[in-house]
Amino acid sequence: MTQPLLESELEPRYLYVHTFGCQMNEYDSLRVQRILAAHGYLVTPDMVSADVIFLNTCSVREKAEQKVHSFLGRLKRLKSHHPGLKIILAGCVAQQLGNKLLKRFDHLDLVLGTRAISAVGDLLEKIQQTNKRLAYLPEVDSMTPRELFTASPAATSPVTAPVTIMQGCNNFCTYCIVPYVRGRERSRPSREILDEIEKLTSCGTREVLLLGQNVNSYGRGLEEKISFVELLHRIQEETDLLRLRFTTSHPKDLTDELIRCFADLPVLCKYLHLPVQAGSDRILKRMNRGYTAGHYLEKIQRLRDACPEIGLSSDVIVGFPGETEEDFQQTMDLLKTVQYDNLFSFRYSDRPHARAAAFDDKLDEETKARRLMELQALQADITLRKNEAEVGTLREILVEGPSKTQEELLTGRTHQNRIVHFESTRPCTGELITVRIREAASHSLKGEPAA
Ligand code: SAH
Ligand code: SF4
Ligand code: F3S
C-alpha cells in the first residue's frame, strides 16, 4: 500500500501565482514564491496543474477590483474538478473585504491581508491539515520589519528586482483607498534594505527598483536617523548595483536635495515617475494633493535644470467629481507643457472609505470616457514624437534578456525607461551596453549595438 504522507513529501507540489496591481504586489508575490519554495512548492505557469493558487489582488480602482471577482469566478469551476486545490487570496482586496470573501466565495480557502505575507507557509500547512478556511489580517503595529518586508532572494535573481523600502501611506488623497488597505506608513531599517540588495547582486541582479507608496517620506518613525536621500547615497556607496530606480514619489515631498541626486549619483537612473493627477488647482485641492499646478511645474523645471536628460512620467485621473470642461483643459495644457515621456491615465471611480466617494457632483461615465480618450490621444502623440526624437542617438541600456514578443531579439531599457529591442551576436544579459537607436514605435525602440 502506498504511504500518502511519504508520497506527498517526495512528489513536487505546484504553485500557480497570479498578480494584479502595483509593483508592491509583485514584490509580495515574489516573497510568497520564496517562502513556499521552502515548503516544497515549485512554481508552475499552468493553473490547471496547480495544487495551490495564489491570487494577489488590487482594489485601487473599481475596474481592478472587478477583475479579481471575475478571476475568482473562473476558479470555482477549476476547484470543482480538483477538490484538493487550495486557493489563497491576498493583497488589497483581501485586506478590504477580509472574512466577507470567505462567506461570498466558498471555494476560497485562505484570505491574507496586506501584512500577512510572511505567514503564508505556516497558514497553508494549517488549512491543509485541518481542512478549515481562514482569514488572517494582522494589525501593522504588532509586526516586526522582517514580517512586514523580508524576502530572502532565490539562488538566481532577475536582472531587475524590486525591493520594498516602506509601505503604507499617510496622505489620504480623497479618491484613494490605499491608506485604508495598506495602513499607515512603515519604513524598513536601512541595514535590511542594504543586505537584501547585496544578496540580490550576488545572485545576478544589476538593477533595483525601490518601492513604497510614498518613498520620499522614507525613514520617518525609524529608530535610526535616515532620510530617503541618505538611503540613496548609502546604496550608491555600499553596493555593486549598476542601476537604481524608485517609485512612487509624491510631488509635495520632492526636495531639492532629492532633485540633486539625479545629477550627483551615477547609480540613479535619470528617470522620475511624479504623479500629478490633475492640472487644475481647484481639483488638486479637492483631491487633497497639497500642491498647485504652478508648484508642480516649478519642480519639473528644477528637475530639468539639474538633469536635462531626465525622463518623466506621471499618473492622471480624469472625471474627478466636479471636474468641469475647463478643469479638464487645464490637465491637457499641463501635459502639453510638461511633455511626459510616458503617462498612466485613469477614469475616476468611487472607492470604499475614500472621501471623494461621498462628494455629490459626480460626472457621468460618458463624459469621463470621452475625456480619457481625448487625453490618451494627446499623450500617445507626445510619446511617439519623443520616441522618434531618439532615432539616431546613442543610448546606454541595461540588457534584461530575450524580448517577450520576438525571441531572436534582446531587450533592455534606457535610463529614461524606454524599451529597446536589438539583435546581438553575443549573450550580454545583465550588461550595460551602448546602442544606436534606429527605429521608433509607440511603445518601444529598435537599435543596434554601437561598435
Ligand atoms: N502612491 C502612488 C500611487 C497609488 S495608486 C501615488 O501617490 O502616486 C496609482 C494611481 O491610481 C494613482 O496615482 C491614481 O492616478 C490612480 N487612482 C487611485 N485611486 C483612483 C480612483 N479612485 N479612481 C481612478 N484612479 C485612481
Ligand atoms: Fe493614494 Fe495619495 Fe497615498 Fe498615493 S499618496 S497612495 S494616491 S493616498
Ligand atoms: Fe493596488 Fe494595493 Fe498597489 S490597491 S495599486 S495593489 S497598494
The CB of 68 under 6 Å from ligand 3? The reply is: no
Q: Are residues 224 and 125 part of one domain? A: no
Which ligand 2 atom is the nearest neighbour of the CA of 60? 1
Domain holding 252, by residue range, is 143-269
Distance 248 CA to ligand 2 centre (A): 9
Instruction: Report DSSP letters for 58-93, one per residue.
Output: --SSHHHHHHHHHHHHHHHHHHHH-TT-EEEEEEHH
Kindly state whether residue 275 falls inside one of the protein's structural domains: no
Measured in whole angstroms, the distance separating CA 76 from the mean position of its chain's CA atoms is 28
Q: Are residues 109 and 164 part of one domain? A: no
Final residue of a structural domain among 243, 269, 295? 269
Kindly state whether residue 82 falls inside one of the protein's structural domains: yes
**What is the residue with the minimal CA distance to atom 3 of ligand 1?**
213
The CB of 214 under 6 Å from ligand 2? The reply is: yes
Kindly state whether residue 185 falls inside one of the protein's structural domains: yes
Kindly state whether residue 348 falls inside one of the protein's structural domains: no
Distance 80 CA to ligand 2 centre (A): 39
Q: Are residues 171 and 130 part of one domain? A: no
Measured in whole angstroms, the distance separating CA 428 from the mean position of its chain's CA atoms is 26
The CB of 253 under 6 Å from ligand 1? The reply is: no
Residue 211: its H or E element: strand 207-211
Burial state string for 284-315 with b = 16 or more CB within 10 A and e = fewer than 16: bebbebebebeebbebbeebeebbeebbbbbe
What does pTM read for this prediction?
Answer: 0.94
The CB of 395 under 6 Å from ligand 1? The reply is: no
Distance 133 CA to ligand 1 centre (A): 32
Q: Give the CATH number of the domain where residue 417 resides.
A: 2.40.50.140
Kindly state whether residue 320 falls inside one of the protein's structural domains: no
For residues 32 and 39, the answer to whether their CB atoms sit within 8 Å is no
Which ligand 3 atom is the nearest neighbour of the CA of 24? 3
Q: Are residues 133 and 66 part of one domain? A: yes
Q: Are residues 132 and 226 part of one domain? A: no
Q: How many domains does the chain have?
A: 3
DSSP state of 390: T
Q: Are residues 243 and 194 part of one domain? A: yes
Smallest-distance ligand from the CA of 56 = 3
What whole-number distance in Å separates Cα of residue 32 and Cα of residue 118? 8
Q: Give the CATH number of the domain where residue 78 resides.
A: 3.40.50.12160
pLDDT digits (tens, 9 = 90+) for 103-148: 999 999 999 999 999 999 999 999 999 999 999 999 877 788 888 8
The CB of 317 under 6 Å from ligand 1? The reply is: yes
Which ligand 2 atom is the nearest neighbour of the CA of 182? 6
Residue 346: its H or E element: strand 342-347
Final residue of a structural domain among 138, 156, 179? 138
Kindly state whether residue 330 falls inside one of the protein's structural domains: no
**What is the residue with the minimal CA distance to atom 4 of ligand 2?**
213
Q: Give the CATH number of the domain where residue 240 resides.
A: 3.30.750.210
Q: Are residues 129 and 20 part of one domain? A: yes
Final residue of a structural domain among 138, 156, 187? 138
Kindly state whether residue 191 falls inside one of the protein's structural domains: yes
What whole-number distance in Å separates Cα of residue 235 and Cα of residue 240? 9
Nearest to 247 by CA among 310, 167, 171: 167
Instruction: Report DSSP letters for 90-149, one per residue.
Output: EEHHHHHHTHHHHHH-TT--EEE-TT-GGGHHHHHHHHHHH---EEE---GGG--HHHHH
The CB of 60 under 6 Å from ligand 3? The reply is: yes
DSSP state of 268: B
Q: Are residues 235 and 150 part of one domain? A: yes
Q: What's the chain's Rg over C-alpha atoms?
A: 23
Q: Which three cell numbers stand for residue 197?
A: 540588495
- Residue 125 is predicted with a pLDDT of 95
Distances 263 to 203, 260, 388 between C-alpha atoms, Å: 29, 5, 25
Q: Are residues 113 and 34 part of one domain? A: yes
**What is the residue with the minimal CA distance to atom 3 of ligand 3?**
22
Give pLDDT < 50 ranges for the chain.
1-8
For residues 50 and 170, the answer to whether their CB atoms sit within 8 Å is no
The CB of 176 under 6 Å from ligand 2? The reply is: yes
Q: Are residues 263 and 178 part of one domain? A: yes
Q: Are residues 263 and 167 part of one domain? A: yes
Distance 277 CA to ligand 2 centre (A): 10
Kindly state whether residue 39 falls inside one of the protein's structural domains: yes
Distance 242 CA to ligand 3 centre (A): 28
- Residue 36 is predicted with a pLDDT of 94
Name every residue whose Cβ is closer than 8 Å to that of residue 172 and which is 6 or more positions away in sequence.
179, 288, 355
What whole-number distance in Å separates Cα of residue 368 and Cα of residue 174? 18
Name every residue whose Cβ is closer than 8 Å to that of residue 43 and which is 6 or more positions away in sequence.
14, 15, 16, 17, 33, 37
Q: Are residues 160 and 93 part of one domain? A: no
Distance 351 CA to ligand 2 centre (A): 13
